[in-house]
Amino acid sequence: MSNETIKIANDIDTGYNSHIRLNELCFRLASIETDEIYLDFSTVNFIASNQFAILGCILDTYRDEHPDTTIYFSHLNKSIKKTIQKNGFHAHLGFEKIPDTYNTTIPYTIFNIDQISEFEKYIILRIFDRDDIPKMSEKAKSNIIDNILEIFNNVKEHTHSNKVYTCGQYFPRSSLLYFTIVDSGETIPYNVRNYYENLNTEAPSKLLEWAIAPGNTTRITGTPGGLGLSILSDFIGLNNGKLYIISENETYEKKGTNEQHMYMPHSFPGTIVTVAFNLSDESTYSMTSENLSEIVF
């Protein structure tokens, strides 16, 4: 029986360097044909709970293509194991579940692409019904929820993926509530390239940047579409939160009002969207009017 070991060299938080490491894992797995794979976490002291959505998607995608290969996590420290036992990822590894006493995790959940109503209930319960979420009018809350649902809808409408992976975590020290959504379908750059091919026009050089810009859409009909992140992005800027989007080898990060578009050495075979809400924000948010999609405080 053959086996391979992949060493995960560093901690995995939410940010550019950690996303490079996760993309490196995808790249390494793509070249492996073996009976057993051991992921060695001996030098890893921390994995942010929301990043298990990405890990779960990566491992399930590999297992779908290599059903006879068994993947093991080796040398997990006690803290990471405890996180897994709290957030629901334990089911992948055969660990016993333990209660999340302090309500710091948003459970690791895999949604079928037709379960949008279940996904909506999940984000309302786990994010928007929290007592510590920033105050907002029902109209503002509804619009932000609709933006998050549009991310889910984009997977169904623009990819052949049949699953969406989610997970999250609240970090009391920073007062940030992270929530990650992942799929392994056609990437945003792939869809933008196809869109421009159909128009017989040269595609822009920065494909993810184009897709994020308000008003841009790959829908041939010209009906409103795109990533559906305009109000969510505006809210993150006012809320001093964070937004990360990774697709193929392109990445976008927004921290408060600061934005960065960057490239990574390896590609992610799908799309990752992570939102971090700042729960220390004492502002109250509402829409400027019933007709304008602008959020104010």
Give the number of domains in the chain.
1
Instruction: Give the list of residues 6+ apart from residue 87 with CB closer than 8 angstroms, or none.
Output: 49, 52, 100, 105, 106, 107, 108, 167, 169
Specify the residue for token string 């304008």: 292
Whether residue 251 is contained in a domain is answered as yes
**pLDDT for position 223:** 42
Specify the residue for token string 């994995």: 47
Whether residue 145 is contained in a domain is answered as yes
Cα 205–211–213 angle (5° rounding)?
A: 100
The CA–CA distances, whole Å, from 47 to 55, 164, 212 equal 10, 20, 28
Name the residue among 109, 120, 117 with its Cα closest to residue 163: 109
The type of residue at 215 is G
In contact, 104 and 170? CB cutoff 8 Å: yes
Domain region containing 223: 3-93+104-296
User: Which tokens hold the place of 16?
Assistant: 């550019």
**pLDDT for position 291:** 42
User: Which tokens hold the place of 55?
Assistant: 């890990």
Backbone phi and psi for residue 71, each to the nearest 5 degrees, phi listed first: -110, 130
What's the rounded Cα separation, in Å, for the pair 86 and 63?
A: 24
Whether residue 54 is contained in a domain is answered as yes
Whether residue 183 is contained in a domain is answered as yes
Whether residue 98 is contained in a domain is answered as no
> Which stretches of the chain are DSSP H helices?
16-30, 52-65, 78-87, 90-93, 116-123, 138-158, 188-198, 207-212, 230-239
**pLDDT for position 219:** 62
Q: Is the torsion defined by CA of 232, 49, 245, 255 positive or negative?
A: positive
Secondary structure class of 231 (helix, strand, coil):
helix
**pLDDT (tens place) for every residue of the chain, 297 residues total:** 799 999 999 999 999 999 999 999 999 999 999 999 999 999 999 999 999 999 999 999 999 999 999 999 999 999 999 999 999 999 889 899 999 988 899 999 999 999 999 999 999 999 999 999 999 999 999 999 999 999 999 898 888 899 999 999 999 999 999 999 999 999 999 989 998 999 999 999 888 888 888 777 776 554 444 556 778 889 999 999 999 999 999 999 999 999 999 999 999 999 999 999 999 999 999 987 644 445 554
Whether residue 147 is contained in a domain is answered as yes
Give the domain CATH number at 196.
3.30.565.10
Whether residue 99 is contained in a domain is answered as no
Give DSSP secondary structure letters for 86-99.
HHSTHHHHTPPP--
Whether residue 21 is contained in a domain is answered as yes
Tell me the angle at which helices 78-87 and 52-65 cross, rounded to the nearest 10 degrees: 80
